[in-house]
Structure formats: C-alpha cells, structure tokens
Amino acid sequence: MRALVYLSLRSFRNRLLQLVKKPGQLIVLLLCLGMIGFVLFTPRMEGAQGGARPIGELYAIALGLYAFLTVAIARQGLENGATFFNMSDVNLSFTSPISPTHILLHGLASQLGTALFAGFFLLFQYSWLYQTYGIGLGTLLAILLGYALCMFVAQLVALCLYAFSSASPRRRALVRLWFYAILGLSAAVLVAIYLQAQGSPLERLVLAATSTPAYLLPIFGWVLALVKGLIASSPALLLLGVGLTGLVCALLILFLSRSGSDFYEDVLSATELRFSQALAQKEGKAANTAPKKVRTGKLGLDRGHGASAIFHKHLLEDRRQGVLLLDGLSLLMGILAIGFAFFTRDSMEGAALPVCFAFACYLQIFSSFTGRWLREFNVHYVYLIPEPPFRKLLGMLSEHVLKLALDAVVVMALFGLCLSATPAQTAALVLARFGFGLLLMAASLLSERLLSEIKMRWLIIMLHFLFMLLLCAPGIVLAVVVAFFSPATLGMVLAFLAFAVWCALCALTVLFCCRNLLQHAELKTP
C-alpha cells in the first residue's frame, strides 16, 4: 500500500512539474481558475434573493441531473464495459505483488478525485443559480459533492455489473433485466406521486422529486437526500443518504475485492478500449467509437458522385446505426428542452417563450461537438477526392445541415405547442433554432480552421466557446433591440426572425472564409 501512496504523490508532483515545463497548460489552468474566481466572487446584484424562486425546484433539477448521470454511467457496465484504470495500471500495478484489494482502493481513490474535477463546470452556474434561487456558495458545493458521489458510485456499479455479467451471456441478460426493472420501478414511483399531487405541473414535479419515496430511490435518490440534508441541516436526511450510499459502496467494494484475478481480466478489455480512444484523440484522429449493433443490409455505396458521395455515405451510416437523422444526444437535448418548457410555462408569465428558447439553445450547445462531418477532417480519402475544396466541404456539411433542419422543425413544433405559441411564433422559433444550429456549426468550422494545430484540449474548448459567444452576442443584442422597437403583437416574432437572420449570415460568412479549408490541410499522422 505504501508503494501506491508513493505512486500517487509522485504522479501529482510530475503533473506540477509538467505545468512548469509547458507554460501553455499553466496558462489554461490560470484562465480556468480566473474564470471560476470571477464567477464565484464577483459582486452580486442587489435584491437578487428577495425574488428568489422556491429551493424545491433546485432539488428537482439536482435529482434529474443525478438520475441521468447515474443511469448513463451504470449502463456502460452492461453495454461497453467499465473501468477506472489505465494501461500503466494494467502493465505495472496488476502484475506487481501488491494486494488486489489495495490496487482496487487506489483506483477508487483516483476515481473520486476525477469525479470531483469533472463536476467543476457546476461552479460556472453559480451566478444564475444565485440570481434565481438565492443560494450561497455552500449550497453549490453541496450539489457539486452530490455530482461527484453519483459519478463515483455509478462507476463502481458499472464496474461490478461488468465484472459479474461479462463471463456469461445468460448472466448479462439477467442483469440487464434487473437493471431496467429497477429503473422502470423508480420512474413509476415518481410518476405516481406526480399524478396524485395537486397544483401546477412544476409544483407537482417538485413535490414528486422532494417526497420521501424519492429519497429511497437507488443511488441518485440517496445522494439527493445527503445533499438536501447538508443544505437544509436535516440530520435525518443526511443520515439516510450517508448510510445507504456508504453501505452500497462497501458491499460493491467487497464484491470487487473478492473477485481476485478475475477482476483484472474483466477490466482489461475496457481499459484497452479507453486507452485506444484517448490515444486517437491525442493524435488528432477519430476515436474508434463504432457501435456494436450495425445494420449491414445492402453493401456498398450506390449513390452520389464526387463530393456528394460524402453526403450519401453519412446517410448510409445513419441508416445502418438506426438513426433517423436525429442522434441520441440531439434527441435527449430536445426532450429536456420540451420538458423544461412544459413544467415552467405557468411560472414564467410573459417571458416563458424567450426564457425557454434560451434554455433550449443552451442545451443545443452540448450537441455541437458531435457530428459525422467533424470526423472527416481526419481521414485521407476526403483530401483525395478530385473535387474543389469548397464543394467537398459542402458535401461534408450537408447531412449535418439536414439534421439541424429536422431537429428545428420537430423540437420547436412541440416546443411551441407546450408554450401555446401562435403559428407565426412557432415558425419564427423553427428558423431561430435552425439559425443557431448553423452558427454552432460555423463556430466548429472556425475552430477547425484556427485551432487545428493546438494539442491542448482545454484551450481548444475554451476558445471554441469564445468563438460561439462572439458570433452569438450581436444576434442577441439585435433581437432585444428589435423586440423593444416593434409592436407588441409582432415583437416576439420579429425578434426571433432577427436572431435567425443574424445567425444565418454569420454562418455563411464563416463558411465563405473557410471555403479552402480542405485545400492546404495537413493530414495528422501518428
């Protein structure tokens, strides 16, 4: 065990020395800390807490976040395997004469630190959370602690599920059945409480999320009880959350420690897969994330010529993966946006439409980092197609633009229905959603144009968000000005249309500036 402690301390020391040897990473770290400090310690607006919304809404949001995080991570143990080790652990620690239990505890400690670091983005939400709910920094840190605990416990559950079921297809089927049965039962409990409650949809949702049965739901309910116990100074809830979470963690760790050498073999394939994906990302190549279930059907590509073949290739890949132009992430973000609109429509009064649309745009940002066209920059055949570079670029973007259009029509139509929008407002929402999607695509193009040689992931992400902000901010200002000077009956429609026009013009401008992106691009080779 002493050797593992020395390894952890030495690794931490080496990371600090790496910051000194590579000033670019140090600059990124200082920028991140500076941004967090600005968000946390900037002077607060007077009177923000006077009109604060009920804190129960924040508990409901936290429960949704914890539930999504828990299910998404735990499900990996059934689908792709789970691990919190790396290849150095596999090659050195696993083969050393150190007890498997000690190695497991070392991996768990490292995973807890990673979970805390992964939740740092919650700190950037402090400003609007304070303005909306009047919470203090302690409340935000309690929510962050709950986020880290959910990640930690869910990763532990995923690892146990994988270790128990990987050796037998029958076991895997049985575990999958129990997993979804527990998930369905948890959802049924919340739905039953929601249907029996009184009040507006939002009030009923809050009552369901903060009821006693919700605190008894596996993992995410227990963690919410712990978090609420800390925030509300409730010893009963705190004891309930700590007791159930701690008991489950102890049982899972005991199971893994008793697995012995079998545990090593179970996590080996998942560790190798994660290592290959990380290596591909570091080398600037597309990671091997092909799904296990692919509908082959008719082989070959019989449509398209030249650059248009890229478009038909993307459609074929969508069809083989069972994707109807809307991938899982885009569909999830759309559902969350519609759900937010449904539960908050009665509490926003006249501001429901712009506030809910802003939330939908915020969620859409998270899906802007995905897309088949982004992976085409890292394959050689795109550069070898005997077509003008601009035409090839259009071929790469066509499927994504079609997906954006379909997403805008489907999501905003349901969006407008939930908010009782007029047909003119719904049409304007569709155009604004589509325009914002084009703007996000333009920001990704600009990042590929200007940041392709940068290897620091953090710097790329920060500059990418900066590009999005610079492109989007004038459109927001224009929409506000148009709404202010327009007639009351047309203000909302004209504001959304103005925003859509600005986003489309920005996207076209960036596309024109990046028209020769494939002309002199250097292929990234390992």
Q: What is the pLDDT of residues 393-413, one digit of tens each?
A: 888 888 889 888 988 898 888
460 to 110, 456, 467: CA distances (angstroms) = 25, 6, 10
Residue 497 in tokens:
């249309």
Cα angle value 288/148/49 (rounded, 5°): 125
Closest C-alpha to 389, from 473, 472, 484, 513:
513
Does pLDDT of 194 surpass 70? yes
Q: Judge whether 86 and 164 are in contact, CB under 8 Å.
A: no
Q: What is the model's pLDDT at position 159?
A: 78
Phi-psi region of 487 (alpha: psi -120 to 50; beta: other; left: phi over 0): beta
Q: What is the model's pLDDT at position 301?
A: 64
Q: Judge whether 321 and 399 are in contact, CB under 8 Å.
A: no
Q: What is the model's pLDDT at position 298?
A: 59
Which stretch of 44-58, 63-77, 357-371, 378-392 has the lowest confidence by average pLDDT?
44-58
Q: Is the pTM of this model over 0.85?
A: no
Q: What is the pLDDT of residues 72-94, one digit of tens each?
A: 888 877 766 556 666 667 666 76
- pLDDT band for 25, please (50, 70, 90 cuts): low
Which residues are CB-contacts of 497 (< 8 A; sequence separation ≥ 6)? 428, 431, 432
Q: Judge whether 366 and 437 are in contact, CB under 8 Å.
A: no
- Indicate the angle between helix axes 220-232 and 235-259, nearest 10 degrees: 140
Task: Say which residue the tokens 């590009």 belong to.
Answer: 467
Q: What is the model's pLDDT at position 499?
A: 93
d(CA 275, CA 342): 42
d(CA 373, CA 371): 5
User: Is residue 515 classed exposed, middle or buried when 0-12, 13-18 and 19+ CB atoms within 10 A define those classes?
Assistant: middle
Q: Judge whether 320 and 295 are in contact, CB under 8 Å.
A: yes
Longest dimension (CA), the chain: 78
Residue 443 in tokens:
């920001």
Rounded CA Rg of the chain: 25
d(CA 217, CA 220): 7
- Give 135's DSSP letter: -
Q: Judge whether 255 and 160 are in contact, CB under 8 Å.
A: yes
Considering the chain, what is the average pLDDT of its residues? Answer: 77
Q: Judge whether 503 and 439 are in contact, CB under 8 Å.
A: yes
d(CA 247, CA 244): 5
Closest C-alpha to 353, from 406, 408, 426, 404:
426
Percent of the residues in the chain that have a pLDDT greater than 90, as a whole number: 13
Kindly write down the DSSP assignment for every residue of 303-366, as one continuous string. Answer: S--TTHHHHHHHHHHHHHTT--S--HHHHHHHHHHHHHHHHHTTTSGGGHHHHHHHHHHHHHHH
Task: Say which residue the tokens 């047309």 belong to.
Answer: 490
Cα angle value 490/495/496 (rounded, 5°): 105
Question: Using CA of residue 186, residue 192, residue 198, residue 204, what is the dihedral sign?
Answer: positive
Closest C-alpha to 337, from 244, 261, 232, 436:
436
184 or 78, which is more confident: 184
117 to 31, 151, 317: CA distances (angstroms) = 16, 11, 35
Which stretch of 93-97, 270-274, 476-480 has the lowest confidence by average pLDDT?
270-274
250 to 146, 153, 171, 239, 254: CA distances (angstroms) = 18, 10, 23, 16, 6
Contacts of 103-110 spanning 24+ positions with Cβ under 8 A: 103/4, 104/253, 104/256, 104/257, 104/263, 105/253, 106/4, 106/7, 106/8, 108/84, 108/152, 108/156, 108/253, 109/8, 110/8, 110/84
Average pLDDT of 300-310? Answer: 74
Q: Judge whether 374 and 500 are in contact, CB under 8 Å.
A: no
d(CA 472, CA 27): 26
User: Is residue 204 classed exposed, middle or buried when 0-12, 13-18 and 19+ CB atoms within 10 A define those classes?
Assistant: middle
Does pLDDT of 256 surpass 50? yes
Which stretch of 17-26, 115-124, 165-174, 277-286 has the lowest confidence by average pLDDT?
277-286
Tell me if residue 218 falls in helix, strand or coil: coil
Percent of the residues in the chain that have a pLDDT greater than 70, as a whole number: 69
Q: What is the pLDDT of residues 466-500, one digit of tens each?
A: 778 888 889 989 998 998 888 877 888 899 999 99
Q: What is the pLDDT of residues 326-364, one digit of tens each?
A: 666 777 777 877 877 777 776 666 677 888 888 888 888
- pLDDT band for 161, please (50, 70, 90 cuts): confident
d(CA 180, CA 187): 10
